[in-house]
Structure 1
Amino acid sequence: MPNAEEDTRKVQTAVSGHAGSDLPVYLPMDADEFGAFISRYPQRAFFCGTLLGGCGQRLSPKQYRDRKCHFAHVSAAVNCRRTEGDEASADHLYIGRAIADWLKRQKQRAVQPVYKPQGHQVRDVIDVSYEAGRRLVRVQLARRSKREWEESDAELRARHAGLDWLFGPDSLLANWQLDRQGYALRVQCRSLGATREVEIGTQFPDRPVEWTSLSECSLTPEGIVTPSLLHTPSGIVPRHAVPATPALPASALPLTPASVLITDAALSHATDTHRFFDISVRVNARLSLPAHAETPDVHHAYLPMGATLSLNSDGTWLIEAGALHRIPADITAQRKTDIGPPTADTHDPSPQEQPLPPDANLVRSFRATLENTARSKNIVTMATLCRQASLHDHELPVERWRQLLVQVEQPRTPGKPILSALIKGRDGGPAPFFREVLRGVGWTKDFSDAELLGIWDRERRRAHAAYSRSGPANPPSLPSREARSQPSDRITWWRADSASARRRATFDALIDLTHEARHAGDLDAFEQNLFLAERVAWSTDAHETVRSLTDWLVDRRGDELHETWERLSALVDRLNGEGDDLHPDQLRRVLRSAEELAEEIGEELAAEELRDIARWRQHLARITERLTLSEICGHAVAVRIALRRTARAGHTTTWGELALRIGAPLAALHPDDKVAVLVEADRETPDDRPLLSALVTAHGANRPHPLYRQVLFNLDRLAPPPEALFMHWHMALRRHSELR
């Protein structure tokens, strides 16, 4: 019998950060991989996520040598109803995040994954919208009937300009997609160390599924293209179905007419069959470079190093190069004009040819830029620092950065913030030389990457606090007028002529004010007076006093930040749990409160919550953009006239065709608004005549529109069961043809 305190609900997956997070975590079952897993998540903030169907409570990773490692609930008293806990239980989160990240790499905007679309349960369906909701990737994981899938397909195509379907590895719906377009796309996850890797499969009739990674796929206006597919002018087709082109001689390359521009042709020589010209050729192509390579500048010319030339499947040239070598301006001009070597060096030197400014100038520029950045409570990039110091195209090595920034940090006094913490690297974290700068200013303790990130974050906040309240000039070394006006029994001013005596008196007065602000709970006044006291600290003991008070302030600010984050997390959890049931006004108030808390915390710490807030903002915009009754009636009049003409012509129509006829965006309307328009259009239709709404068919299919049955119900007409709807609709069309 297990111990009463032992948690028997053992699971392999969790979410990281907070209960409503969509950041999945997979704990490998092998004990040898446990250490690598924990090193990736030093905070150990694991939860039984609500998007996993869990209770939202904390989970603890458990390591065992004699059995599988797993997560367990921290509290055994939690009544968790989570039904799935194996390694595949978080695949929907891995898939949603992978597709969203891939769409962003495809230069798409407003990408938004939704793991529980309206009317669906978690792990059934994933919707990833982009282009502000105009296009959609629907991932169908749960099993559904063909009829249900076709109805969903028709509804989604009526609401979105583009739709791509991805099916789970066991979905039978992919077979119907095969019949429709000749191929189907599947998605699956496989374990890779301490994570799950998402793969896309292309399925063809009578062929095994061909799996590949998302990074090998591309996005076109017609849809997703995998390596097994080919994007052609007539659409997306299976690559194996395209006839192979005849092999070309080893020395020949195919040229498309628009890919090459020939200039400066001069006759070289002639034979009986050909004439040969010396020419200059400009090729239009796509350039592929490693991620770390320099980005080409339109104002310079380059030679590709280690380059190869190939032809893409879409007919464009591809140059793959290992790096680019910039050509100096004089050589570029020489090549363009095809003249001999210049007799005199008259060109303006390029930025790299110009000597570096003196170290004193660089240090002065770096310090001024960093202090201005601190006053604005911002961070700065290395490129901005170089640009402000007139180092536009010079690349400084790490050691050179360290030497210059150590001088920027001088003179060093205890408690003084590290200005270099205001510099961010390319990944958004500390600059690559931040650790070396800390060593250079006297930090001797060894610290891990996680500790370095904490130091960087703390010093950045200290720099913001120190400079943002001091105005454009340097912080004053004397107390403010309000401080000097305090009663004499609180601040004793020494009247000695000695400068050191005045400095000691100023320091003591500021420390008194700092302690008063601490007792009053006024952290802003505490921070301001402490900063001023640091400027006039006159001895080792004084600096130690400042250091002690600074540590207390940093801890208190951290506590405040954590408390604010907890309030924000609770508010976002409420949104995710109750948002669909809130009135728009209630939802608007909750969102406003959440946005205010997120602004206090900052974008970096509130990144997960800001994604949820943005999703609910979009939801609020959708529900508040619904049609008014007068707009519905106006559309209904135009739709009634158009449908009567369609009936007299003996045809059917679609929402898209109706929209073109009446000049209104009907296809983009909410389904409930579409029903309301059709109901009003048929409000005057006699009971002995078929509804005009029967003439509206599903897009590209000989079947009634999915909303037809709901229109029948709302007009108190006999609504047949789903299996008899198709026959009922055919009888309505026949009745229309008889009444023409």
Structure 2
Amino acid sequence: MPYAEEEDTRKVQTAVIGQAESDRPVFLPYDHDDFDRFMRSRTRDDFYCGILLGGCGKRLSPKRYTDKKCHFAHRPPVHCRRTEIGEDSADHLYIGRAVADWLKQQGQRAMQPVYEPKGHQVRDVVDVSYEAGRRLIRVQLARRSKREWEEADTELRVRHSDLDWFFGPDSLLANWQVERQGYALRVQCRSLGAIRTVEIGTQFPDGPVEWTSLSECTLTPEGVVTPSLLRIPSGIVPRHADPAEPTPSTSSLPLTPTSVLITDVALSRATDTRRWFDISVRVNARLSLPARADLPDAHHAYLPVDAALSLDSDGTWLIEAGALQRIQTDTDDRPSDSAESSADTHDPSPEEQSLPTDGDVVTSFRKTLENTARSRNVVTMATLCRRACLHDRELSVEQWRELLLQVEQPRMPGKPVLSSLIKGWDGGPAPFFREVLRGLGWTKGFSDAELLDVWNRERRRVHAAYSRSGQTSPPSLPSGRQPPGRAEGKQADSADAGHRAAFDALFDLAHEARHAGDLDALEQNLILAEKAAREADLSAATHKTLWSLTDWLRDRRADELHGTWERLSALIDKINSVGDDLHPDQLRRALRSAEELAEEVGDDLAAEERRDIARWQRHLERMTERLTLSQIRGHAVAVRVALRQAAREGRTTTWGELALRIGAPLAALNPDDKIAVLVEVDRETPDDRPPLSALVTAHGRDRPHPLYQQVLFNLGRTVPPLEALLMHWRMALRRHSELR
């Protein structure tokens, strides 16, 4: 067999479980510790290269590594041509399942997400309908033009009474939605240890996207309401449209001193006149349930479903709910008070009484983090404390900050943040990472999503910097060359003397390369000098001097790498902002430059930029698939004949019917090419006759095609306003029937 010995070398990070057609995705974490937790209660035969992932449907084997990223691999022979294999390659499945589960929690009947709606490819869009298909949530993940989106919006609203759009992180259409309704809903996934979580963001025209979990959102008759939005009688509006004053559409209800208990208070923002806090609230209230509802158990926690809060006639808060949904809380598995009190009153052991000094802790933290960097891994807070002999001592955020700021010294521009190797309990940044950044001089205020990006980027920078040089050393720079121990005594053995002489010569060459700024020559001479030092059995002081020079090289390599990455990041930002306006040749040159910079930076550090490059390359491919002028005219001849026949028969038609009639894929054309074809169809139609393009209708045939106005504009005909468009179109159809 020609493929018998073929090996799959791709790092596939996602799979589905159960069967090849499943939409239950899994994400294989990179770290070997997370791998072990991930594989609990699973076998190596549970994973498939899912059809809905664009895969082959064959089984995948999870691979555990300690020196590189854990990943899935195909079992030979390999015939799969799946293109999307990164950690975000199953995000459409995670999002589809999360939206369906959320709708069920909102009291809707469970609906199966549709991952390949008609006319779309896998990973382009996800549709989740509910209320027997009358209402729809469409998740737009692939990039689309404004015209394509408006066309899809029109067609979907014909088939559904209500439509909500979620826009993916790569979609620029959210800006048009903001312009249309004042806000847009975004959706994204991020990795937390061995899972991918789904977040919903609310985008406003004058601020950053405000992210939250789906569980914090509510389904209303008017649409999806996030914590950043407010449902009022006239519809859904931004909650903080006027932060200096309460929203005028809401009514105020009095609070008695004993009716509400406020806990977990955190300042969220402030103005000159008021301050806003994020809080947890416990309310003393009366609960009203239907007679058929089950009685709640006082030992469990519940969420009210279809609930409303009001003030009863006697001044008591009244919660009217359709049902109660039992939930799991942190207290369910909490030990009893007596167990806690007995655990808190034990006498400290001698080990706990003799805790290390801060200096010892800093030294231990630095050593552990550098070893972690060389193995290209991350480390938990518990591991750091255990290796520093802190036992069960819990450090506050302020203590972590002060200790890690000492670990990061000396601090120089461009130096990667070593503390980014510490992961929190949820698999993301440690809870003190933001404070460490501020202590290092990062003045920008980061959202949670932005902080996660910084954490991932700095971690890749640390890995890249330490992989350049595998030596262990304290992060201090030499102030100058220290004589490497030539006067330690005359060597008795001539071989040792030869090794010493070789070391001295190589060390001199290394210093010359450093002063000349030749990092490649410096690295080569240091490698040879390290070998000579081992063979000559030199003193610890000599090795320390050598390590100092190695540290200097590592920092310079990190600065060099960071500078290249900054150029790459700036170029990608420029492409993302103006790419749609570039000529294909200009875009192609920019992407070629970006690819060259990404090669210099490496796959780990440039992972996000490579995804942008791949996305724009696909966009470029779609641009190059546009019709030529001769092809447009050829289609126009065939379409003109078909439309004249439809006019004689007194009927309208659609793009799909035209495509079948003339044997060309008209429905899949770029909207601009469709406009060009219809303009050519009507170029010779007299102005006193209705345009043939009026016979092309939208799905359902009760309205003109969304491109009709643009065709009229390009033909130089009168373009009616939107409110008069339907009447204008019907008059054109009547004229066609009169001219038969």
Interval of TM-score (by shorter of Structure 1 and Structure 2):
0.3 to 0.5
TM-score, length basis structure 2:
0.42
**Greater Rg over alpha carbons, structure:** 1
TM-score, length basis structure 1:
0.42
